[in-house]
Amino acid sequence: MSDQSPPFIQTLTPERWLGWSMDFIGAGYIGLLVKNGRCVRIWYPGRHLSFALPWLEKCELILVDGKLRNLQIISQGDFLSRDQYLVNVSLNVMYQVVDPARVVLEISDPITALTSEIKDNLGVAIGQLSVEQLLNQGRVRIRNYLLEHTDAYYALGFNIDVRVSDISFPQTRGVIRQVEGMSARQEAEYEAGLQMQIAQAGRPDIQPPVQQVNIISGNDSDLDDTLQDGSFALKQELTSAKALPTQSPMGLAPTLLLPNPEGVIARLVNRLSGASIVISITPFTIGREANNNLVLEDPLCSRNHAKIIQDTDAEGNLRYQLIDVGSSNGTFVGEQLLAAHQPFRLSSEDIIRICTQEWRFQVTEP
């Protein structure tokens, strides 16, 4: 028994005796009697008698498979999500002929035409969804979109049903760069951001990072006055100043708790997860190493990437400055790349971008 499915379309030349022919159409097939290039009869399963004038009428019997057939469509980096990530989608399509004359006589390669139409609609459906939506609801939303646009398939002579078997995100380097004209660095940032979105989409209840506080002086009352609601700190029992370290293991400047009698609260709010980190110490350090106050688990982030310093101006007003401490991939405020080791004065609602993460700087006053 052969494993190959029978041909979708078969063309036969009936044997005739004095112009007459008895033809049999098998179960599941549709027959088209074509005379001199024109369809004159459509036959369904059973026996059929036909007549043609010898030498004057050229007759052909074209059999079309009218049963449900399967078509697998597997994309190879053909589509982009709404947030510009490459997406691979595998479809299992069940199709059936509803207009055999159009399929046979008007389309030279009907299966290729059907595949192209499905891919066109698939690209539109994917382009409307973000990575998070694709991971959480992608199969249902893509299927619904394809089935809502059945008019395009009917116009080709087909009816279809679709199942989405797989959604994946290719890691082939260079593809995004070729599509979007990106640099290698931008491509790496996109790939890191993709992995972060995939991980966070699988963990809807995201816990914000823990703010670490290195205390070198003060007392319990100073600590209680400084911590604000919604912030995270490592509270420890204070001993004498002599027993406390004066320098972090990485040689960073001492971290001081500053009193804030005006009640001004400065914080960083993650634009993706909504995590809020109160800046109650100076310098407030950011980087990949665990000894930073804000630890970013991002391979593109430097071990010690940036810091925020709190001070007062000549009029006694509190102000905050962001300093890139010589990172490899830079620190951005909005679209501006900061010069290394040059303080940048922050304003409330500024967007700070470090590699693939964005944080909103906010200052609230009582």
Instruction: Supply the DSSP string of 123-179, one letter for each residue.
Output: HHHHHT--HHHHHHHHHHHHHHHHHHTHHHHHHTTEEEEEEEEEEE----TTHHHHH
334: tokens are: 């909005």
Q: Where are the domains of the chain?
A: 9-65, 70-168, 220-364
30, 102, 109, 260 from 161: Cα distances, Å: 21, 20, 20, 65
Assess contact for 95 and 162: CB atoms under 8 A. no
Q: What is the per-residue pLDDT across 265-281, written as a single tens digit (0 to 9) for each?
A: 889 998 888 888 888 78
Assign domain 70-168 to its CATH superfamily: Band 7 domain (3.30.479.30)
Asked whether the whole model's pTM tops 0.95, one would answer no
CATH class of 220-364: mainly beta
Per-residue model confidence as pLDDT tens digits over 253-312: 444 445 454 567 889 998 888 888 888 788 899 998 888 888 888 888 888 999 999 888
pLDDT tens for 139-187 read 999 999 999 888 889 889 999 999 998 888 776 544 444 444 455 556 6
